[in-house]
Amino acid sequence: MSFELKDIKGLGVKSAEKLKAGGIESVEKLAQLSVEELSKVEGIGKGSAKKYIEGAKTLLNSSKDEFISKTEQKDKKDEEQEAIAKEEKDVEEELKRLEKKREKLKEQSIKKGDFVLVKMTGRTEKGHIFQVSSPEDAKKAGIYDEKKDKQGFYTPEFVIIGKSGFVIEGINEILETMKFFEKKSVRIPPTKAFGKREAQKIDRMAIQRFKKLNEGKPPELGQTYVNKKGQRGTVTRIVQGRVIIDYNHPLAGQTLEYNLEVIDKIEEFDKKLARFIELRMPGAKADQFKIKFEPKKKSIEIEIPQMHQFNQGLLMFKFGLAMDLQNYLDGMIDTVKFLEVFEKPKIPETPTPEPEQNQNHEHKHDDNKSDESNKEKK
């Protein structure tokens, strides 16, 4: 961008004409002059010369900053467009891969030991939906909870066919009879779901005793309570100075209805590993963990991200994940190492303050001038 002398702040038309008459026709040339050089131009004093030079430099610098800013914005926009194009390409390739995989798996029977993803909707006989496989389904059912969504509650179930601990017994048995992408509706009796309700799993205690065991806090209906044995129960009633705690599973004693569909088969080692990590630490993303796998040594090292190092369930996460990798990956892993790195936080540098101008010196200088003018008057 080119500027004219008149664009300089505080420089009028007449002053611009004086500068041009002195051979200074551009802002760039004016900015390169010293005060002494400019003050030689007829009609330009030192004070004005200093002001015009500073104005020229400011104008040129603002132009340079604007150019850099526009260039950076253009570069950023180009990078964003490239990133969007890459993402769209990756999505397109992934869709093609999934479609190809779908055709391969279609009508294929599910076998024991397969690592699969199961889309399921679970409801009670009274129609209450308690399990879904997507946030959209949760919203439709009126059970959506943002906190649960972040913890990965509304996703397809990761299951190893024939292995216990992933889904209830009744569903495990049904999955073994299905084919990929086959849809099936089933009813699961209590004995193969969450068991029968047992009277001995209902506890009663005085409110004062409950408060003593609950950090002095009074009971609340629906509150989750964990006893000394680690059993998790729910406060179901508070009556006549007593608290009723039910340690049965909330769905115990109920026949449950499920809609099932096996939508994927996980075959790659890294994807199996990612599923185990996210299963053991709800809400975490597997790509946040640094993994070092040595197949010959049957050893794997997993670095825990700093954001999860103070997770209260970290010890159980490490124990559970180690057991999963050693038990379910066909003898590929014998040793599991966990690494926790604590880096010293970076302290931002404090900018050095600019030296203050000596105000006293300026005042003394002005006082001297006043004394000299007073002498001249005398």
Determine which of 93-107, 135-149, 229-243, 341-355 has the lowest per-residue pLDDT on average: 341-355
Mean pLDDT confidence for 218-226: 92
pLDDT over threshold 60, residue 90: yes
266 or 78, greater pLDDT: 266
Q: 103 in the Ramachandran plot: left (φ > 0), alpha (ψ -120 to 50) or beta?
A: alpha
Q: At what angle do helices 314-328 and 269-280 cross, to 10 degrees?
A: 150
Task: Tell me the pLDDT band of 161, cut-offs 50, 70 and 90.
Answer: very high
Task: Tell me the pLDDT band of 31, cut-offs 50, 70 and 90.
Answer: confident
Radius of gyration of the chain (CA): 38
pLDDT over threshold 70, residue 65: no
Mean pLDDT confidence for 336-359: 73
Q: In angstroms, rounded to a whole number, what is the distance separating the alpha carbons of residues 230 and 239?
A: 25
pTM for this entry: 0.65
pLDDT over threshold 90, residue 286: yes
Amino acid at 309: Q
State which H helix or E strand residue 92 sits in: helix 46-105
Looking at residue 97, its pLDDT comes to: 80
Amino acid at 330: D
CATH class of 268-378: alpha beta
Looking at residue 359, its pLDDT comes to: 46
| Domain 1-105, architecture per CATH | Orthogonal Bundle (1.10)
High-pLDDT (> 90) share of the chain, %:
53
42 or 285, greater pLDDT: 285
Whether the CB-CB separation of 200 and 125 falls below 8 Å is answered with no
Looking at residue 364, its pLDDT comes to: 45
Mean pLDDT confidence for 186-190: 97
pLDDT over threshold 60, residue 80: yes
Task: Tell me the pLDDT band of 237, cut-offs 50, 70 and 90.
Answer: very high
Q: Where are the domains of the chain?
A: 1-105, 199-246, 268-378
pLDDT over threshold 70, residue 367: no
pLDDT over threshold 60, residue 375: no
Looking at residue 376, its pLDDT comes to: 45
Looking at residue 45, its pLDDT comes to: 81
Q: Are strands 335-340 and 299-304 parallel, antiparallel or unpaired?
A: parallel
CATH of 199-246, one of 2.40.10.330, 3.40.640.10, 2.40.50.100, 1.20.1740.10: 2.40.10.330
Task: Tell me the pLDDT band of 194, cut-offs 50, 70 and 90.
Answer: very high
Looking at residue 4, its pLDDT comes to: 79
For 294, the 3-state DSSP assignment is strand
Determine which of 203-217, 226-240, 355-369 has the lowest per-residue pLDDT on average: 355-369
Condensed to tens digits (0 to 9), the pLDDT of residues 291-326 reads 999 999 999 999 999 989 888 889 999 999 999 999
| Structure tokens, 69 | 């800013």
Whether the CB-CB separation of 120 and 157 falls below 8 Å is answered with yes
- By C-alpha distance, which of 169, 178, 185, 187 is closest to 114? 178
State which H helix or E strand residue 204 sits in: strand 202-206
Q: Average model confidence (pLDDT) for the chain? A: 85
Q: In angstroms, rounded to a whole number, what is the distance separating the alpha carbons of residues 220 and 242?
A: 12
Mean pLDDT confidence for 72-93: 77
Q: In angstroms, rounded to a whole number, what is the distance separating the alpha carbons of residues 267 and 166?
A: 18
